[in-house]
Amino acid sequence: MVAIHPLGATLKQAPPLQLHLDGGAVADPALQAADARLGGVKPRGVALRAGPHRIGPIPKPVVRLPRVSEFSNLPFSKYQGLGNDFLLLDARTAADPEQAFGLTSERVVQLCDRRFGVGADGVILALPSQAGGELRMRIFNADGSEPGMCGNGIRCLARFLADVDGDGPGRIWQIDTLAGRIVPELLPDGTVRVDMGAPFLEPQQVPTTLPVGDAGLPQGELDLDGERFAVAAAGMGNPHVVIPVPAVVEIDLERFGPLFEHHPAFPARTNVHFVQVLSPDHLLMRVWERGAGPTLACGTGACATLVAMHSLGLCERRARLDLPGGPLQIHWDESSGRVVMDGPAEHVFDGVIPDPEAVALSRRQAAAATPIGEPAAVLAPSGPEPGPEIDCATVCTQGCIRPERCPSAEARARVEALLRGTSLDDLVSIATNSLESRTRARFDKGPGFNL
């Protein structure tokens, strides 16, 4: 059962994971194809030659890796908002933004898998605007589907943009989404305020087959697995069903979440929110997200929940909503009819995933170089037995005195392979855009700014 954030408690966020190159941590040889060219995407100081798994000491390369220009790597940043986590990809400057990362539904599913991928609730793309805004956002759920909006996701996108571009408090973005123009703002404490726009309360806008009830929004009663629930629905660019209950901790979310999500009353499926009233300005909720299952938070869901609960006469227009990942402050402004959300968004780590073709080729080359059943480490090289150690820097000043078995040949070959496989621009990028410098830059923002 999902743990419920207790009344009045403050969740302590884990510190973001920092990956440092000077510690000598890189992926195994098969995953070292990730590195230099970012396919036209602006780098974020990622000098990490790593995949998402099997981090260990630097190994000796078995074969020369293919030139990075032959493949497309996937640089990403991971952010979380109240435990709702996303992989952020910057394609604002890509020559072909929609194809910059070669995302398909299948690849999104693999990336979001918490055992066989990076692990996330979704993937977010920052793209050039097509509707007059500053940029455009696309988001994909963990199952590969594409919702219209995500409140926690757009907060994470805003914080990501601020970190990439070096923006400080007061920065406002005009972001186009499938749900329309959304306007986040970076606040002085590092949290993000988002103008989520007006809710959709007509059944066809949600969409739902529930009729508009006395509360002025779609509502009714639904039977699920022998249980009967009074529900209300609202849209925030994606569909939500809100179910008031006496105690959210007693709800079997794994049982009822998918039944609500796929109920015929919601032709496009729906996000599901069970809500308990603690006081008129304090609600407690649990979330089952469409396409993702149980999550620690849902920003659009918190907005829809406040709208529905206020319409039903169960809370005020401004309230704190406690989710399993922490609290959000939601305000449904009476004069404008727009919903405003305040909440955190935090950087977790950066990384680069090599192109699958590069990984497969590297493994094929390594397998071809090593006989089946015989580890590469025990293969005896041909040629004469090694003689006594020599100091190449001293003895070989006029040329190699042992060319048939030069003790420094392997090291020189590795350097040559690196230079052949990496452009000058990429070498400069590796040298200058380290995670260490990004960490120092964050601290340079000054005291009081939420890191």
Question: Strand pairing partners for 286?
Answer: 274
Active-site residue among 112, 156, 298, 303?
Answer: 298
- CB atoms < 10 A from the CB of 212, how many? 14
How far apart are alpha carbons 442 and 450 in whole angstroms? 9
Nearest to 205 by CA among 257, 146, 148, 131: 148
CA angle 194, 197, 202 (to 5 degrees): 145
Is 298 part of the annotated catalytic residue set? Answer: yes
Is 150 part of the annotated catalytic residue set? Answer: yes
Q: Residues near 162 by Cβ (< 8 Å), separated by ≥ 6?
A: 168, 171, 186
Q: HSE (CB half, 13 Å, CA atoms) of 277? A: 15
Distances (CA, A) of 171 to 87, 161, 240, 330, 424: 22, 10, 30, 20, 34
DSSP state of 275: E
- CB atoms < 10 A from the CB of 390, how many? 15
Active-site residue among 112, 150, 156, 315?
Answer: 150
How far apart are alpha carbons 43 and 7 in whole angstroms? 42
The two beta strands, 135-141 and 175-177, are: parallel
What is the identity of the amino acid at 325?
Answer: G
Residue pair 334/297 in contact by the 8 Å Cβ criterion? no
How far apart are alpha carbons 172 and 181 in whole angstroms? 12
3-class DSSP state of 21: helix
DSSP 102-158: ---HHHHHHHH-TTTSS--SEEEEEE--SSSSSEEEEEEETTS---S--HHHHHHHH
DSSP 158-202: HHHHHHHHT--TT-B--EEETTEEEEEEE-TTS-EEEEEEPPB-S
What the block records as the tokens of 337 is 């009819």
Residue pair 47/18 in contact by the 8 Å Cβ criterion? no
Residue pair 233/273 in contact by the 8 Å Cβ criterion? no
For the chain, the first-to-last Cα distance in angstroms comes to 31
How far apart are alpha carbons 309 and 234 in whole angstroms? 10
Nearest to 60 by CA among 417, 353, 414: 414
Active site residues: 150, 298
